Structure 1
Amino acid sequence: MSDDLLALENQVCFGLAVAARSVIALYRPVLEPLSLTHPQYLVMLALWEREPRSVKDLSDTLALEPATLSPLLKRLEATGYVERRRSAADERALEVRLTEAGRALRAEAEKIPSRIVERLGLPVSELENLRESLQTIIGAAVRTA
């Protein structure tokens, strides 16, 4: 690293941006046979953890604006993986549920993490440490926002 505070190589934001794009690119060929984009995969992960979920809950969980999430949900619905409907408990809330096809997709998706680890060629312990560091950074950024 150089002493220049404005050198691109010294910027955390640059490293995070390039790393994010590079890792997401590794997911593309793995997700393509499942008819999923990376953002859609994140939605599916959240729904495999728990369903039904309100759009607001998904938005909060994924740190996505509802306006960004809505088109993702529409495409997942068109693919046949999710369905959206008004909550019986609160007509104002829109719930998202997995369809049978969406639930069945989980079995195929369980192979994805090991394939990504293999493609990265890094020890799992290093990736776990990185995930923890990223969670710390996210927490710090959210607190100061």
Structure 2
Amino acid sequence: MSVRESDLAALSPGEMLRLDHQVCFALHATSRAFDALYRSLLRDLGLTYPQYLVMLTLWESDGPTVKELGTRLRLDSGTLSPLVKRLEAAGLVERRRSRRDERSVSVHLTAKGGELREQAVRIPPRIAEASGLDLDELRTLHGLLSRMTERLDAAVAPA
């Protein structure tokens, strides 16, 4: 199902341009609320939200290249490199240059980074509880957002 032009034509220009009618703003406001909640929950782990995303990716599959990590997290190297450097300085990850291609660098968990996973496992249930949504609603929302992301990506992809 998609929005039909006739559906949009029924809205006045004033209604169409109301801030509280914008899905993008609802997502922005939700993202800001998530950031604030994650900031308080991650403080004890010594992680920022972007660092947490890197760690989630590594706990799922250790050793991706920096390029693979950036693709997965939708981050450019200018944003990702400082994140990884800070995680490395904290002793949570280590970077390893490929022997076959020295331009390629992979990121690996250290023992300390692996151990942090045991503390981080408390975070998702607290986020879910704070959302006020049940598990089925969260799954539905996740599916809708994933589908929307794919379609928006396709809308701006070069032809």
Q: TM-score, normalised by structure 1?
A: 0.94
Quick check: 1:123 aligned with 2:150?
Answer: no
Deviations 1:14-50 (A, max 9, x none): 1110011111211111111000011100000111111
Quick check: 1:23 aligned with 2:12?
Answer: no
The residue aligned with 2:58 is: 47
Quick check: 1:58 aligned with 2:69?
Answer: yes
Could you tell me which runs of 5 or more consecutive residues in structure 1 were left unpaired when the two chains were aligned: none
Q: What is the identity, as a one-letter code, of the residue corresponding to 1:98?
A: L
RMSD between aligned residues: 1.2
Q: Determine helix, strand or coil for the equivalent of 1:53.
A: coil
| Structural mapping, 1:57-96, within 5 Å | 57-96=68-107
1:9 to 11, 20, 32: 20
Larger radius of gyration: 2
In the TM superposition, residue 87 of structure 1 has moved relative to its aligned partner by: 1.3
The residue aligned with 1:112 is: 123
Structure 1 stretch displaced more, 42-51 or 81-90: 81-90
1:61, 1:43 → 2: CA distance?
Answer: 9
2:18, 2:126 → 1: CA distance?
Answer: 34
The residue aligned with 2:5 is: none
2:128, 2:99 → 1: CA distance?
Answer: 41
User: Size of the alignment, in residue pairs?
Assistant: 144
Deviations 1:80-115 (A, max 9, x none): 111112112321101111000000111111111111
Q: What is the identity, as a one-letter code, of the residue corresponding to 1:66?
A: S
In the TM superposition, residue 60 of structure 1 has moved relative to its aligned partner by: 0.4
In the TM superposition, residue 121 of structure 1 has moved relative to its aligned partner by: 2.4
1:118, 1:11 → 2: CA distance?
Answer: 26
Q: What is the identity, as a one-letter code, of the residue corresponding to 2:127?
A: I
Q: What is the identity, as a one-letter code, of the residue corresponding to 2:76?
A: E
Could you tell me which runs of 5 or more consecutive residues in structure 2 were left unpaired when the two chains were aligned: 1-10
1:47, 1:140 → 2: CA distance?
Answer: 27
1:91, 1:51 → 2: CA distance?
Answer: 19
